[in-house]
Amino acid sequence: MSVQENIELMRRWFKEVWNEGRTQTVYDLLAADAIAIGQLEDRTPLRGPAEFASFVERTRGAFPDIKVMVEDVFGADDKVVLRWSATMTHSGDHLGMPATGERVRLSGITIARFADKRIIEGWDHWDQLGMLKQIGVYRSPEASLLESA
């Protein structure tokens, strides 16, 4: 596949999986033996479409109105890099905590490697701590000290 075709597949991934909630697209575009790193807080890899689809369902269950905007995208050889930003409201309990109703803005970078029109490896780096701060489940030690002074 050409670099441009890979870029279009990444755009399709973000539009359909994240903005439209189409988990079938995970099965269509992610190779059966694919590995994804960086989605979970402990960096445990997600393996294959079923594990990734479960991650999508949990995330969309906590943030059903998620909207992801592609800020930049480029590719070389078999890899595509995409910088994105997202807005969402914490209105579901799928993170193992009650919904807070808080609005969240965050950003991230995704790198994907392709073979045979499918994603075979992916790496994500996104502001997980910022998300936790915005929904109010984490406060930095400095903020706690300032409030108690």
- pLDDT tens per residue, range 93-112: 988 889 999 999 999 999 99
| Region 43-70 average pLDDT | 95
Confidence band of 144 (pLDDT split at 50, 70, 90)? low
Among the listed residues 81, 20, 17, 78, the one whose alpha carbon sits nearest the alpha carbon of residue 49: 17
What one-letter code names the amino acid at 99? Answer: A
- How many domains are there within the chain? 1
Domain encompassing residue 50: 3-148
